[in-house]
């Protein structure tokens, strides 16, 4: 396996002492941030969905298998898990699994578009400890949000936030993927969060999943990155970022957080069929470490898979290590580079020193999506960008007998 | 003057779980959901010993921390107390 940027030829020993970041580069016995996508099924079809969700995978883990995973997380002392999808609340056993996790000392934060957060569910959530709710909102206005998330999704999200507030649920999270179209709305997002007693969470748009189709159109422009950085420097203490923007650290001062690519070192992703990937933004065969249904379970994949072992050492080579800002940005996001066809030991496509633009202008081969659960046909409420902007062919059903199925007719 | 904290009885908070890691341990507080890293195995040992000792100073002795480092450890433990990772054992106060 040669996914990782250049590493020392003889395995380096973990240093004694030193900073936490230096320790984290060598990995942990269990992840500190584990994302678990419970299903690929989704009622929405967001244009930038990083897991290309839409249809349920028939091999999805059963309720019993999910509970066995939770048992293992408890044994490994993984104290909380970020549950997502797809839309996780679509699973009929979703609430059962949430309760099971909480009863087994695995706290839950789940991401939802809000369509199942009824007043009754909000009251249940307000009555539990260890359950955190994160509502996705990608525009501070319906116009901006619905263009990427689909008609009606803004109203759904705000209704969910209102239900949570009215039920007495405190400190819900509003999760915003920062795009070219909403960077100018940061103050408005903050105002919405304040209105609903919620905390704002800003994350980076990755060219992962369907995000690859719209990234060119939606990723923040260089001056917007600066605007975002300045805004985060001013408001960072009260805004969560999931350590998303460490590539911006090369502007000067680091943002709060680890400022490190944690893929396979301190974070990973479990997908709906039990496949374990290096990070939530890297659902691709190249970053697949194994499946937790194997004999050694999740623990063996996490602790011994060849891919994760390879990722657990500091990068020593590549163009970026010669840059004076390397210590600040650590070369940026591996997934962002991979899905834009850039070398993993080179600059991040959104490198704030401008090296990314140069790299993007050169020869590159954008990898084919290897996993896609998008619906074969966009629905009535599909986001505008999905109908107009997307150029990638929809997946072809195995049952499609049309001889031209999947053919390029243009 | 030595840190007064060294004379007090302390304990790991009942809401905190320690997860061993190659460099020390990760401490998680189920109540306030704070995550803290104990970067030295010696500090982990001290935190585990707290509840078995009448005063912090003797827990440090038992963990083999030299006396000249006691004040530095007291400062580190005070930071842990700020997020309720450890707390005073009031019930033993005379």
Give the number of domains in chain A. Answer: 1
* pLDDT score recorded for residue A3: 63
Helix axes A153-166, A142-149, angle to 10 degrees: 110
Residue A9 lies in a domain: no
Per-residue pLDDT band at A11 (split at 50, 70, 90): low
What CA–CA distances, in Å, run from A7 to A2, A258, A308? 10, 21, 13
**% helix, strand, coil for chain A, step of 5:** 35, 15, 50
A192-216 average pLDDT score? 96
Residue A7 lies in a domain: no
Q: With beta carbons less than 8 A apart as the criterion, state whether A70 and A97 touch.
A: yes
Residue pLDDT, tens place only, B48-71: 999 999 999 999 999 999 999 999
DSSP assignment, residue A173? E
Residue pLDDT, tens place only, A163-181: 999 999 999 999 999 999 9
**Strand pairing category for A239-240 and A288-291:** unpaired
Closest CB to A32 among B20, B35, B39: B35
Residue pLDDT, tens place only, A368-378: 888 899 988 88
CB atoms within 10 A of CB A109: 17
As a whole number, the mean pLDDT across chain A is 90
Which residues touch A403 (CB under 8 Å, ≥6 apart)? none
Q: Which residues on A lie below 8 Å from B43 (Cβ)?
A: none
Residue A308 lies in a domain: yes
For B4-91, CATH number? Answer: 3.90.930.70
CA of A2, closest CA in chain B: separation in Å? Answer: 26
Which residue's entry shows tokens 């039920």? A167
* pLDDT score recorded for residue A9: 60
CA of B93, closest CA in chain A: separation in Å? Answer: 32
Q: List chain B residues with pLDDT less than 70.
A: 91-94
Domain coverage including residue A200: 23-313
Q: Are the beta carbons of B26 and A32 separated by less than 8 Å?
A: yes
Per-residue H/E/C for A367-379: CCCCCCCCCCCCC
Q: Which residues on B lie below 8 Å from A17 (Cβ)?
A: 39-40
Percent of chain A with pLDDT over 70: 91
Which residue's entry shows tokens 């104990």? B38
ipTM of the complex in this document: 0.86
Closest CB to B33 among A23, A77, A107: A107
User: Tokens standing for A267?
Assistant: 């974070």
Query: Three-state SS for B51?
Result: helix
Handedness of CA A78, B40, B43, B62 (dihedral sign): positive
A102 touches chain B (CB under 8 A): no
Q: Which residues on B lie below 8 Å from A107 (Cβ)?
A: 30, 33
Residue A386 lies in a domain: no
Residue A278 lies in a domain: yes
Q: Where in chain B are the domains?
A: 4-91
Residue pLDDT, tens place only, A43-74: 999 999 999 999 999 999 999 999 999 999 99
Residue pLDDT, tens place only, A73-122: 999 999 999 999 999 999 999 999 999 999 999 999 999 999 999 999 99
Is residue A273 over pLDDT 80? yes
| CATH number of the domain within which A76 lies | 3.20.20.70
Peptide bond into A86 cis (omega under 30): yes
Which residue's entry shows tokens 């304990």? B11
Give one DSSP letter per residue of A115-170, joined into a string: TT--HHHHHHHHT-SSEEEEEE-S-SSHHHHHHHH-TTHHHHHHHHHHHHHHTT--
Q: Are the beta carbons of A77 and B17 separated by less than 8 Å?
A: yes
Closest CB to A20 among B17, B30, B37: B37
């Amino acid at each position: 396996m040669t996914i990782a940027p250049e590493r020392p030829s003889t395995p380096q020993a973990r240093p004694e002492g030193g900073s936490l970041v230096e320790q984290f580069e060598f990995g942990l016995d269990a992840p500190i941030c584990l994302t678990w996508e419970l299903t690929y099924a989704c009622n929405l079809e967001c244009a930038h969905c990083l897991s290309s969700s839409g249809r349920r995978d028939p091999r999805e883990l059963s309720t019993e298998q999910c509970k066995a995973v939770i048992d293992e997380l408890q044994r490994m002392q993984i104290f909380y898990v970020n549950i997502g999808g797809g839309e996780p609340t679509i699973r009929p056993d979703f609430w059962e699994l949430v309760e099971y996790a909480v009863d087994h000392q695995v706290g839950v934060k789940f991401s939802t578009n809000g369509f199942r957060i009824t007043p009754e569910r909000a009251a249940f959530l307000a009555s539990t400890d260890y359950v955190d709710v994160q509502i996705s909102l990608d525009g501070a206005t319906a116009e901006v949000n619905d263009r990427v998330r689909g008609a009606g999704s803004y109203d759904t999200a705000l209704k969910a936030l209102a239900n949570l507030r009215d039920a007495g649920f405190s400190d819900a999270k509003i999760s915003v993927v920062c795009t070219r179209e909403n960077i100018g709305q940061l103050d408005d997002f903050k105002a919405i969060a304040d209105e609903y007693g919620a905390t704002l969470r800003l994350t980076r748009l990755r060219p992962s999943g369907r995000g690859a189709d719209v990234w060119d159109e939606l990723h923040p422009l260089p001056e917007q990155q600066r605007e975002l950085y300045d805004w985060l420097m001013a408001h960072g203490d009260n805004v969560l970022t999931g350590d998303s923007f460490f590539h911006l650290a090369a502007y000067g001062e680091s943002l709060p957080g680890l400022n490190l690519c944690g893929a396979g070192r301190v974070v990973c992703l479990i997908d709906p069929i039990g496949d374990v990937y290096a990070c939530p933004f890297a659902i691709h065969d190249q970053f697949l470490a194994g499946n937790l249904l194997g004999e050694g379970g999740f623990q063996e994949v996490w602790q011994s898979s060849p891919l994760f072992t390879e990722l657990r050492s500091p990068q020593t080579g590549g163009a970026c290590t010669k840059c004076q800002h390397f210590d600040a940005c650590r070369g940026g996001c591996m997934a962002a580079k991979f899905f834009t066809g850039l070398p993993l030991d080179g600059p991040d496509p959104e490198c704030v020193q401008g090296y990314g633009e140069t790299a993007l202008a050169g020869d590159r081969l954008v990898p084919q999506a290897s996993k896609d659960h998008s619906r074969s046909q966009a629905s009535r409420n599909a986001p505008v960008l999905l109908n107009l902007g997307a150029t990638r062919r929809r997946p072809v059903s195995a049952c499609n007998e049309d001889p031209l199925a999947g053919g390029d007719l243009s | 003057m030595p840190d007064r904290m060294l004379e007090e009885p302390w304990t790991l908070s009942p809401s905190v779980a320690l997860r061993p890691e190659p460099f020390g341990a990760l401490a998680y507080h189920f109540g306030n959901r704070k995550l803290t890293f104990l970067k030295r195995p010696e500090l982990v040992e001290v935190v585990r010993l707290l509840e078995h000792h009448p005063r912090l100073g003797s827990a440090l002795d038992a963990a083999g921390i030299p006396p000249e480092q006691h004040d530095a450890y007291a400062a580190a433990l005070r930071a842990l107390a700020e997020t309720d990772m450890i707390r005073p054992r009031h019930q033993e106060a005379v």
